[in-house]
Structure 1
């Protein structure tokens, strides 16, 4: 990961798109489409990204990404910010921003100021809408938190995906219920507690496995928070890095009177997940 303020110059990059780009959603992609062959994405990293934290943004573009830490630039006025960009991008000819882009100290400068401060071309991308609703990262977060995965995915232009490491679980699943892979993914926003049809990739496998996943507190057993995924097409060994891609919301988190009742519901969850995933290209 390249942090812009720690490098001397970035050469051969004639166009940059600037923004926070958490989610890399369809609105962001509209900016990236303006970059051309020698374009670079400049991420202003606030530290609060939780849809695509840190380098996870790189999964959703083939463009080069440079990261600019907000703490290192938040004191700059408009002139200072533009000077930084010109110093770092020595071949800069075009800057692409969204209609709501703001920069500089206290976010007091907008794209209007950018057009006055920059000698090259400034492209301002208009608001992107989907089904007559403007696309923003905060709306995607809101959809995830109510379990509206399909609408969130439409705004994203891809399935919402979390990445984490395999951790030891309770040990109940394989013995009493179904075998699950337990995941820790603390940097990501968790969707609404419940059960989901998902696609799961282990380590750096080329393909995703159809799966059913649970996110939430284990209210039937120990009450602890868990992310668990059950692979539908066979058992998986050698689990370190786990990637879960959410396809559809199946049901909310429920408390059951016995493990036997929970097991029966899990079998229903598996059937619903299998139906949701049946026609996907895996």
Structure 2
């Protein structure tokens, strides 16, 4: 399995079956598409591959709010888990945005990757100003000798499964509905980083992760406070409470952070890769009057999360205890 930043060196090109898309969330519709790529590749002796973009094109084109379901790590892992052998992460910059649809097909798909078979969704658009569509891709396939297949749409409750619908479910706090379309519980995976360590000063140390890359104008699709489980801190799955937001009580800096307090656990987690699984929403993020009000709210969040997760009550009254 290989992940390429851009197209490969000519000596590394292989005849490929590819799917093209953003694959934000890698939901059940995406996975059906990926399964068709693997099957087509196996039938034709090709390499099952994916072409995707980083950052999301909407971060560069347009001014609308951009919400991301997946960290790049989660997206790559989910695509590879589906049986894809190569991922081409195309840098979506001004040069890529200005590339015509025809040049994208010739220079990237055919010359850059050696595409022999390609599948896309029926509403797929590509190239400068989104001028390219399925009809153009099919026509160029006939000219340049690659096969184009339009993937069937997958439905859930009489509506198309899409990243947009999952974002809407998360915004409404409906993690169950989101999980049905994702085919799994919603989670985020990342490396534990150093934070401001404010949690230590109020007795609630946290694991800190960056859900959005530095410098990105995107936002995480999930926001608020949640009961969670945590994998990656040893063999056992841990339980805790997590907040994902911008910490409005303690800073005016708009920096997205996922902060997870792990119940009844001690250890050094810095540098580890952990996965936070979101079980139930407790509340929206809120700006409090000061640290004492924040501390009381965290204690209540921890109490409620323990009830949701079936944990024993905190060994201390007040703020939940624990140390990193």
Aligned residues of 2:240 and 2:302 also touching (Cα < 8 A): no
Distance of 1:67 and 1:53 partners within structure 2? 14
Deviation at 1:86, TM superposition (A): 1.4
Deviation at 1:144, TM superposition (A): 2.3
Aligned residues of 1:15 and 1:94 also touching (Cα < 8 A): yes
Does structure 1 residue 106 correspond to structure 2 residue 115?
no
Does structure 1 residue 88 correspond to structure 2 residue 112?
yes
Aligned residue number for residue 14 of structure 2: 12
- Residue 159 of structure 1 aligns to a residue whose secondary structure is coil
Deviation at 1:248, TM superposition (A): 2.0
Aligned residues of 1:212 and 1:273 also touching (Cα < 8 A): no
Aligned length: 270
Deviation at 1:95, TM superposition (A): 0.6
Does structure 1 residue 139 correspond to structure 2 residue 184?
no
- Residue 149 of structure 2 aligns to a residue whose secondary structure is strand
RMSD over equivalenced CA pairs, Å: 3.1
Aligned residue number for residue 244 of structure 2: 215
Aligned residue number for residue 247 of structure 1: 279
If the length of structure 1 is used for normalisation, what is the TM-score? 0.79
Does structure 1 residue 269 correspond to structure 2 residue 305?
yes
Distance of 1:207 and 1:77 partners within structure 2? 51
Distance of 2:294 and 2:22 partners within structure 1? 46
Aligned residue number for residue 269 of structure 2: 238
Aligned residue number for residue 89 of structure 2: 67
Aligned residue number for residue 58 of structure 1: 76
Deviation at 1:165, TM superposition (A): 2.9
Does structure 1 residue 180 correspond to structure 2 residue 202?
no
Aligned residues of 2:282 and 2:304 also touching (Cα < 8 A): no
Is 245-254 or 117-126 further displaced after alignment? 245-254
**Closer, same or farther: CA 34–114 of 1 in aligned 2, 3 Å:** same
Does structure 1 residue 192 correspond to structure 2 residue 223?
yes
Deviation at 1:41, TM superposition (A): 0.8
Distance of 2:92 and 2:245 partners within structure 1? 32
Q: Which has the higher strand share?
A: 1
What runs of 5+ residues in structure 2 fail to find an aligned partner? 60-66, 214-218, 312-324
If the length of structure 2 is used for normalisation, what is the TM-score? 0.70
- Residue 21 of structure 1 aligns to a residue whose secondary structure is coil
**Closer, same or farther: CA 161–115 of 1 in aligned 2, 3 Å:** same
- Residue 101 of structure 1 aligns to a residue whose secondary structure is coil
- Residue 61 of structure 1 aligns to a residue whose secondary structure is helix
Deviation at 1:235, TM superposition (A): 2.4
What runs of 5+ residues in structure 1 fail to find an aligned partner? 276-282
